[in-house]
Amino acid sequence: MEISTGKKIPCAVFISGRGSNLKSIFNYSKKKSSKIYLKIVISDRHKIKGIRFAKKNKITNKVISFKNKKKAEQQILDFLKKNNIQLICLAGFMRILSKNFIKSFKNKIINIHPSLLPKYKGLNTHERVIKNKEKFSGCTVHFVSEKLDSGKIIMQQKVKILKSDKPKKLEKRVLTVENKLYPKAIKKILSMN
């Protein structure tokens, strides 16, 4: 990954909701040993928990309307470039970024997905793994490529599915693992230089 290290690198997190992964990335960024600092939070929605968290912790945040996707992405790109952002972490961001956007930040956009990719790309992963009687699920941090949930895998972790599991219950356990995995994956790509 062509990211200059040395000083902490400016990073942006994109969210659309709860923001538990945002919180874990923020806590990691605050550590002395971390290689990132969380400069910007971008969201496509107002009044979400993640934005409240950003405001409370005085992280610069911007809510962008996606009514016009092209315009929205251009606005975000300009803002990120102006702030010298070098790493974008998607954390529950519910919009699919265009090829053009992804190209502008080649190998600098990562995402967390609540399944063991390449299995169960897309939405409603927990419902689907339970319905298919899988023994394990888990989560994956991967680079974002032009194809949905298909970029190079950085790290993944398994979670055992219990007989009594319902989607909500499994989601909760996977999320706890996600929150630990995301900072580890960031650490890993930044030590790849």
Binding positions for ligand GRF, rule: CB under 6 A: 15, 17-21, 91-92, 112-114, 139, 175, 178
Q: Which is nearer to ligand GRF, 20 or 86 (CB)?
A: 20
Least Å from the CB of residue 7 to ligand GRF: 27
Least Å from the CB of residue 93 to ligand GRF: 7
What's the distance, CA 139 to chain centroid? 12
Residue with the shortest CB distance to ligand GRF = 92
Q: Are residues 3 and 87 in contact, defined by beta-carbon separation less than 8 angstroms?
A: yes
Handedness of CA 162, 163, 164, 165 (dihedral sign): positive
18 secondary structure, DSSP code: -
Q: Which is nearer to ligand GRF, 112 or 185 (CB)?
A: 112
Three-state DSSP class for 80?
helix
Pairing of strands 87-90, 109-113: parallel
46 counts as catalytic: no
Least Å from the CB of residue 139 to ligand GRF: 6
The residues that are catalytic are 113
